[in-house]
Amino acid sequence: MANSIFPTNSDRQRGFTLIELLVVIAIISVLVGQLLPAVQKVRETANVNVAENNLLALAETARAFRRANGTLPGTLAELAAFCATHPELCSGLSNFQFGPTQGYLFFIVKDTSWKAGADPAFPGITGAVSLLVDETGNLATSSTPGSDQGRTRMFDNIRAEAADTVADLLNLDSSAPSQVRDFVESATTVPDVFARLDANGDGLVTFEEILQFDTDRSSPLGRFLTIVGTEMKLGAANENVSALPGVALSSLQGDPGALFFSFDGLCSLTKLLVSQDGIAVSLCAKLDAAKAAASAGDLGAKQGALQAYENEISAQAGKTLTFRHAATLTTLAKTL
């Protein structure tokens, strides 16, 4: 574990302190709400830049192949064999795998004209742009179909897992639900979390630093980070995660508490976890009523609306949402 937020294994018999719980919840909130979207954005840009450079080098090497053989290569394997015997003509491909490279899948099309192309191995996750280059080096790009849906699905899965983890942590200390919102929304929370994750102190946080922050799978944060790596397909298609760029604190926008500790955030999560739209709408109506009552300073009406929300959640457990997710939504409602 790069930074010890929770007690070490030898000390865990004493349990977790309230501050330990709140710090880990804050880290998860900042990761899901701000940091992961930011590093994903620079990841996609970095990977497509590598793909573009590789395609331009492929086109150049294909021309060298034609000069030597009188024809253009028909497959990557054919070009790889050529480079194995003529490395001096393939210097631009020294880091190319002649297959999946940095999150992209490469191919050659040779019909009426020769082209090499690259698609993200997981659209919206390892990249979102498809590329084609002709033998002269003219490059064309387009948005990869399914990218927006793939990215949304990835972040929805991470958000659902984060919500379950946060709820489990809140249930470890009965005083945590009443304090977590103010703690996470404190002006010092985002800078503090960023500094904790910035292991080398260079002012940037990378995917590698995030994944290495807690590698103990027996800890809640360690388990969550493992799931993050899996959902984000980090390292897929020979992606060099350590080469991915980081983001600065200034690139983090928004309220870290909005996803889990606001009426609107809980409504959005409810819509994600409840399988029937009509039920989700009914539940969100109760949250809207609680929000309006809170704005009006009517605490009794607020609590009544939240209790109605919790009652409906309980009634829908095992029907339109899982028992696990029902418990998660009920716990998060108690933070409002």
Which of 257, 305, 315 lies closest to 32 in space, CA to CA? Answer: 257
Residue 62 CB partners (closer than 8 Å, separation 6+): 72, 73, 79, 114, 116, 135
> Side-chain half-sphere of 314: how many Cα atoms within 13 Å?
8
> Side-chain half-sphere of 309: how many Cα atoms within 13 Å?
31
Determine the Cα–Cα distance for residues 214 and 223; give it in Å rounded to an integer.
9
- Predicted confidence at residue 6, as pLDDT, reads 46
- Predicted confidence at residue 1, as pLDDT, reads 39
Q: Which parts of the chain have pLDDT scores under 70?
A: 1-15
Determine the Cα–Cα distance for residues 300 and 191; give it in Å rounded to an integer.
36
Determine the Cα–Cα distance for residues 204 and 71; give it in Å rounded to an integer.
47
Q: How far is CA 147 from the centre of its chain?
A: 14
Strand pairing report for 104-110 and 129-134: unpaired
3-state secondary structure of 329: helix
Q: Degrees (nearest 5) of the Cα angle 275, 27, 46?
A: 85
Determine the Cα–Cα distance for residues 86 and 62; give it in Å rounded to an integer.
12
CB 56 within 8 A of CB 133: yes
Whats the size of the chain, residue-wise? 336
CB 221 within 8 A of CB 214: yes
Cα–Cα separations (whole angstroms), residue 278 to 260, 268, 296: 22, 14, 27
pTM for the whole structure: 0.94
pLDDT per residue as tens digits for the range 235-293: 999 999 999 999 999 999 889 999 999 999 999 999 999 999 999 999 999 999 999 99
- Predicted confidence at residue 15, as pLDDT, reads 67
